[in-house]
Structure 1
Amino acid sequence: MGQRLTYWIFLGVMGFAAFFLLHASIAFNANAPIDQSKSAVEGKTAQLATQLGFTTDSLQMVATRTQHLNYYDVLRDSAGSDLPPAAVLNERDVNLTGWLVQMGTRQSPGARVVYDKNSFLSELGILDIRYDQEGKVRRISAYAQNPNPTFVAGDSLFAIANRIVGDIFDYDLGQYILNSVDVQDTLKGSTEPGFEKQSLNMSNSSVGNNMVFHWKKKNFDSPGPQEISLEVEPMIKENNASNMARIQYGVAIEEFRALDKYEPEQLDSVQSISKLDLVTTFVSLGLLAFLIFFLGIKYINKGQVEWRRAIIVLVSIMAAVLLWRTLYLLSTIDVFLSITSKAVFVLNNLLYAAVMGLYAAMAYIGWEVIARSRDQEQLNLVDAFWQNQFFFRENGEGLLRGYAVAGVMLGIFSVGLYAFDTQYYQADSQFGFAEASMQPKLLTINISIWINAVLVALGHVGVVTGFLSSKINNRWLYYGVGTLTLGLLFTGVAKLFGIFGPGWYDLVIFSVIGAVVLYVMEKSGLLSFATGWWVFMAIVMIMPYWGSSSMDVAYISWAQFIILGLPLLYGFIAFKYGSSVHELSGYIPAYQQRMADHLRVEKEIEIARESQFKLMPLKPPSIEGVDVYGFFMPSFEVGGDYFDYIVGHNGSENSKVLNMTIVDVSGKAMKAAMHAVFTSGLLLSRLHRDAPESILREITPTLYSRTDPQTFITCLIAQFHLCSKMLTLANAGHCLPILKRDGKAEFLSTPDPKYPLGVQEAVDYKTQEIQMHEGDFLLLYSDGLPEAVNPEGERFGFDNLVSLVESLDTESRPSNEISMDIKRRVQKFSDYQLADDTTIICLKV
């Protein structure tokens, strides 16, 4: 085991020890494990309903775990630094946690679509019952708009009240004193019940006014609620049994409360969110969404995508999110909703799951491209994973390091909370502590942890750290910016728990964790971080189940620790006995292979382009009394045109000859370029010594045998005798040259036959001789010049070409300036999009 890994394991063990030693001081749920399962609470409620005079058979019921966070805030505000940790308060039976059971009726099939808790309970709710951590009833409240199902019989209000509080709710009224009895004038009635335990005298089913009984504790230092209040509505209930009408006197429970000293009346009040928390959340969401979707779309447009992997990530996250949300529906509001409302709920969550899946896929695309470009650590392990190969020594080392990283993060987390003298709590939904209320919990907990670990690893860490490292070269600046950025992102949208206190508590703690994460990504890689974050979140989430006295609950923590232990065990085995991932052949993504092939082709084309240009003259010959210049513009990287000018004797010892030629191969790009290069070789071997018609006659059979029937080559050869100023032309199907003399331009006719090269096996080409005069201007060109097309689809044309030559200042300007003028004009005309290769040679005599 390497020294660095040993060092990490030592730090990880210290971190785990710090977390478990400090847990009682930093956890809101410390010393208050969930001691009753959801089914047990619902069963207990069904028994309680019988004692309260009704049955739950015709009612829908849902039990959810509650955390009274606003009550704890009140205590913190009241006691300040003197407030003991939540663990101590839980030992003293302060009502910080419990269960809420809500009963009501199911939506009718034609009811409006609704799945918001407050909306449907305001319509369907019948009764709410709250239990504390010990399972005692702390609160009961009825919904005024619906019939109250409770009915406790008796002839004396005082006797009924004592029975409800003392016998049914199991409070020792000997520790309390009846402080007051109040008559609430909220209902119209006939006869007021007596105060001295007199018999009830009621004449109808809507009698009397509500009575409120209020008890206060005799000894405020003893545990338990400090005050109890019970509001009842006197009622008469008529039962028909054995053909005899039986009248029962009793009460319905309107409200019951057993309150601690500072306990607020409303336990479900929404916690206030500071401006800093809002800013942190929205900035984090905006930053992540923009960066991940921007990079994802960018790399998709570039084709840098492993589509199979991205689609698997998308579908996996989408399915996991949808499954969790569906189980949430089934465990909470399902019993109340109609089929239509359920369908709308599932549809909405399908869209939400699709967005989350798309986010995860984009994050994976962005991370993988950046990781490959920077050759990040453990990328080869990810590639091996996608190839279903796992048993590597490096894989085991990555897992072990991940568990060590989890310990380090837990240690920083716990020490930070302890230093700030605050606690963390489990994340709440609109139904309270949702995970404790869902079934099957072991599945839903692991779905939550897995989704969170994947999204955080790919988005918060993989993409963000990769992007920052690609933009910031200075290591210290990278760590400074990265630490603050990860602290912001972790605080805003990463954790499955909350922290009491101002938002900067979270920012400081997670910025320190962010610095560790940066080092882990630099030295280890994404596998180690993802493993560490998964373990970190798993341990924090299962602590409320640890130490439960109920096997229905305690098994969750034991099973989860076994789940956490399996990868650790595998890591040790793989590290000890696994082969090296370096023995596995390196994986090259399809898009990288395509890019490599594309770059190779581009390089080969560039070589061909350079080679083709090198075959043409780099500069014109320096000849007294003659000014010649030419250029070649391919429409693609390479083209099918070719030009040359060579000074030779061509069989005459006394007269120098300027040989000029232009070649145009049918087609474009590489195929045409290959034929142009081949033709240039044939021409060069003869151009300096043979006559134009002889050259064309001799190369015709070779080109005919070496070209396919779809390929033809036009060629014009011009020889200018320097002494006699005689111009000899031979034309193999090429564009007619243009001669400008005394300001007038015209085409020079050439004799037949004018068959292009390669069309027939043998052609008896002829020549045309023209006597040139001083001041004449000759233009040789390929068909790309007259066939240039403007954005409106109009061709430049041969007539415009003649007009262009006439308009040029060919008398005072040299050939190179004239050539560049023609080049600029044709480029401007065609909006710099050439339809064909363009080549010209300008000759001034």
Structure 2
Amino acid sequence: QPYSSVQNAFYALTNHYRHKEGRLVIAESTGLPIIDAQGKLLKWRGVDRDITARKHYEDALIESEKRTRLIIETTLNAIIIMDSYGIITDWNQRAEKMFGWTRQEAIGRNMAELIVPERFRKLVHQELSHFLITGSSRAIDQLTEQIALRRNGTEFPVELSIAPLKIGNAYEFSGFVHDISSRKAAERQIREAQVNLAIAQNEMKIAQQIQTSLFPAKPIISPYFEVTGFCLPATQIGGDYFDYFYRDEQHLDMVIADVSGHAVGPALLMVAARSAIRTQATWLGSPAQTLDVLNNFLYEDLYNADHFITLFYLQYYTTTQTLSYANAGHPPPLLYQKCNFSCKELDADGLIIGIRQNINFEEKKITLCAGDCLLIYTDGLTESQNPTGEQFGIDRLKTLFEKYADQKPGFIVDTLIQHLKDFCQSDLFYDDITVMVFKRS
């Protein structure tokens, strides 16, 4: 024994023993020497107390405290512990990085004076005092958004949660601070994007209204024929255009066009094409001549903008009931002939407008009989798809047109559009859909 030659008493000496069953026993020993009159050590008298369970508990508590400290130091939130007076008693590594103060510098400082902007400090002190008196507060035990202050004087938004813990007659407060600067910046960008989107949508709506105002305001109905048209705008402004007007007392001109693309550019090109067509209408000209003038007039604008126009031009001579027409790469109109109850396509050779200058456009003529009906459309009609990807298609269009060709033009237009919506299971379309119907009385 190390104390066998020492005559001083010892207290709470920890010893480790092995029980006969093999398990470890930890004992706390106290020893008192017994000495004779001559000062000679006779023997020791002592007590051993089994503290195995206590030692296990203490070791577990130490490990728990280590784990707790590890969690505190590795969390993404800044953790600040303060007493009832607002004095900081603990400050983790995240708080060091977030605010710029080291743990040694922060501990012992007043929390409000250290990380709260000066204009808010009085309110913080009032809230703390109010809680200590009443036990309630708008900021304590709540998740709130606040403005915090870094060491360098910069301010930033944080999400703050303060949890009170009563110890005896005093309180300890644990503050959990999360930097939300990135989230706030993202929210600001989203709000700005939403505002810009709303502005763009409003401008797009205005552009659609202007575009629609350029179409004929009402059908033309005479004792000899009736013509009407309709454009179903896409979600974006596009380049569809249709028109009908008297060139003179005996000639009715009809035109349908589609500028490639869906944006402001194609819409502006459509307006330019309309202006050129209306200007050309003041001169005497056939459909082929009109297309030739229009192509040369718009070539530079279309070439530089990397766009093109498909266009079908028709001219009805009311005296002879003759229909002349020329095509610039547009889907051929459908002619329903009352005499044989059949439907045929009208087509003529001609390149799309904007590819090259000085194009020779073929012009054809046909005489219309009473009851003949003409359907003119853009490819948005036949190329629209249902949810499975199937296109409306020319065959379906022909079948429906033959079925309703005996009806009035307005009824035919409305019916075709409704069939299209039913087929696509939607009222909104990516491409403009334009339909024009001419019928000889």
Q: TM exceeds 0.5?
A: yes
Q: Which secondary structure state, in structure 1, belongs to the residue aligned with residue 143 of structure 2?
A: helix
The structure-2 alpha-carbon separation of the partners of 1:601 and 1:810, relative to structure 1 and needing over 3 Å to count, comes to: same
Q: 1:209-608 maps to which residues of 2 (within 5 A)?
A: 248-253=44-49, 332-334=61-63, 349=71, 353=75, 396-413=118-135, 456-458=143-145, 495-498=163-166, 540-541=171-172, 589-608=188-207
Identity %: 24
Residue 498 (structure 1) shift: 4.7
2:11–2:31 CA contact under 8 A, matched in 1: no
Matched, 1:823 2:422: no
CA distance in 1, matches of 2:302, 2:262: 15
Residue 395 (structure 1) shift: 5.7
Residue 774 (structure 1) shift: 1.3
1:647–1:657 CA contact under 8 A, matched in 2: yes
CA distance in 2, matches of 1:781, 1:643: 9
1:641–1:838 CA contact under 8 A, matched in 2: yes
| Residue type of the alignment partner of 1:250 | G
Q: 1:714 aligns with which of 306, 310, 316?
A: 310
| Residue type of the alignment partner of 1:410 | L
* Residues 114-142 of structure 1, C-alpha deviations (whole Å, 9 max, x = no match): xxxxxxxxxxxxxxxxxxxxxxxxxxxxx
CA distance in 2, matches of 1:50, 1:816: 115
Corresponding residue for 2:96?
Answer: none
Residue 250 (structure 1) shift: 3.2
Corresponding residue for 2:278?
Answer: 684
CA distance in 2, matches of 1:781, 1:346: 75
| Residue type of the alignment partner of 1:594 | A
1:788–1:829 CA contact under 8 A, matched in 2: no
* Residues 380-434 of structure 1, C-alpha deviations (whole Å, 9 max, x = no match): xxxxxx9xxxxxxx964433233234333433339x9xxxxxxxxxxxxxxxxxx
* Residues 357-397 of structure 1, C-alpha deviations (whole Å, 9 max, x = no match): 9xxxxxxxxxxxxxxxxxxxxxxxxxxxx9xxxxxxx9644
The structure-2 alpha-carbon separation of the partners of 1:401 and 1:772, relative to structure 1 and needing over 3 Å to count, comes to: same
CA distance in 1, matches of 2:282, 2:420: 32
Corresponding residue for 1:614?
Answer: 213
Residue 146 (structure 1) shift: 5.3
Q: Which secondary structure state, in structure 1, belongs to the residue aligned with residue 256 of structure 2?
A: strand
1:782–1:840 CA contact under 8 A, matched in 2: yes
Corresponding residue for 1:698?
Answer: 293
Report the structure, 1 or 2, having the larger strand content: 2
* Residues 77-96 of structure 1, C-alpha deviations (whole Å, 9 max, x = no match): xxxxxxxxxxxxxxxxxxxx
Corresponding residue for 2:234?
Answer: 635
Residue 788 (structure 1) shift: 2.3
2:10–2:30 CA contact under 8 A, matched in 1: no
Q: 2:389 aligns with which of 781, 785, 793?
A: 793
1:54–1:150 CA contact under 8 A, matched in 2: yes
Residue 350 (structure 1) shift: 8.4
| Residue type of the alignment partner of 1:643 | F
Q: 1:744 aligns with which of 342, 358, 361?
A: 342
| Residue type of the alignment partner of 1:659 | D
* Residues 674-725 of structure 1, C-alpha deviations (whole Å, 9 max, x = no match): 2212211111222365432232122221211211264221111112233432
Q: Which secondary structure state, in structure 2, belongs to the residue aligned with residue 762 of structure 1?
A: coil
CA distance in 1, matches of 2:298, 2:65: 87
| Residue type of the alignment partner of 2:315 | Q
| Residue type of the alignment partner of 2:346 | L
Residue 759 (structure 1) shift: 1.6
CA distance in 1, matches of 2:430, 2:135: 67
Corresponding residue for 2:27?
Answer: 149
| Residue type of the alignment partner of 2:207 | A
Q: Return 5+ residue gaps in structure 1 as ranges.
A: 1-48, 59-144, 157-245, 256-328, 358-385, 387-393, 417-451, 460-492, 501-538, 543-587, 650-654
The structure-2 alpha-carbon separation of the partners of 1:800 and 1:640, relative to structure 1 and needing over 3 Å to count, comes to: same
2:141–2:162 CA contact under 8 A, matched in 1: no
Q: Which secondary structure state, in structure 2, belongs to the residue aligned with residue 51 of structure 1?
A: strand
The structure-2 alpha-carbon separation of the partners of 1:251 and 1:614, relative to structure 1 and needing over 3 Å to count, comes to: same
Q: Which secondary structure state, in structure 1, belongs to the residue aligned with residue 235 of structure 2?
A: coil
CA distance in 2, matches of 1:336, 1:411: 32
CA distance in 1, matches of 2:266, 2:330: 16
CA distance in 2, matches of 1:351, 1:620: 78
Corresponding residue for 2:400?
Answer: 804
CA distance in 2, matches of 1:455, 1:643: 63
CA distance in 2, matches of 1:609, 1:646: 22
1:827–1:834 CA contact under 8 A, matched in 2: no
CA distance in 1, matches of 2:73, 2:255: 68
Q: Alpha carbon RMSD of aligned pairs, Å?
A: 4.2
Q: 1:749-788 maps to which residues of 2 (within 5 A)?
A: 749-750=347-348, 752=349, 754-788=350-384
The structure-2 alpha-carbon separation of the partners of 1:407 and 1:51, relative to structure 1 and needing over 3 Å to count, comes to: same
CA distance in 2, matches of 1:50, 1:634: 100
2:14–2:26 CA contact under 8 A, matched in 1: no
| Residue type of the alignment partner of 2:271 | V
| Residue type of the alignment partner of 1:608 | A
The structure-2 alpha-carbon separation of the partners of 1:403 and 1:622, relative to structure 1 and needing over 3 Å to count, comes to: farther
The structure-2 alpha-carbon separation of the partners of 1:758 and 1:336, relative to structure 1 and needing over 3 Å to count, comes to: closer
Between the two proteins, the alignment pairs up a number of residues equal to 346
Q: Return 5+ residue gaps in structure 2 as ranges.
A: 1-8, 17-22, 35-41, 52-57, 79-98, 100-115, 147-160, 174-186
Corresponding residue for 2:84?
Answer: none
2:140–2:163 CA contact under 8 A, matched in 1: no
| Residue type of the alignment partner of 2:300 | S
Q: Which secondary structure state, in structure 2, belongs to the residue aligned with residue 697 of structure 1?
A: helix
Q: Which secondary structure state, in structure 1, belongs to the residue aligned with residue 303 of structure 2?
A: coil
Q: Which secondary structure state, in structure 2, belongs to the residue aligned with residue 746 of structure 1?
A: strand
Report the structure, 1 or 2, having the larger helix content: 1
Q: Which secondary structure state, in structure 2, belongs to the residue aligned with residue 664 of structure 1?
A: strand
Residue 629 (structure 1) shift: 1.9
| Residue type of the alignment partner of 2:130 | V
| Residue type of the alignment partner of 1:402 | V
Residue 612 (structure 1) shift: 0.9
CA distance in 1, matches of 2:213, 2:141: 56
* Residues 648-670 of structure 1, C-alpha deviations (whole Å, 9 max, x = no match): 41xxxxx4433211011122333
CA distance in 2, matches of 1:789, 1:684: 34
Q: Which secondary structure state, in structure 2, belongs to the residue aligned with residue 716 of structure 1?
A: strand
1:659–1:717 CA contact under 8 A, matched in 2: yes
1:636–1:669 CA contact under 8 A, matched in 2: no
Residue 453 (structure 1) shift: 6.5
| Residue type of the alignment partner of 2:172 | M
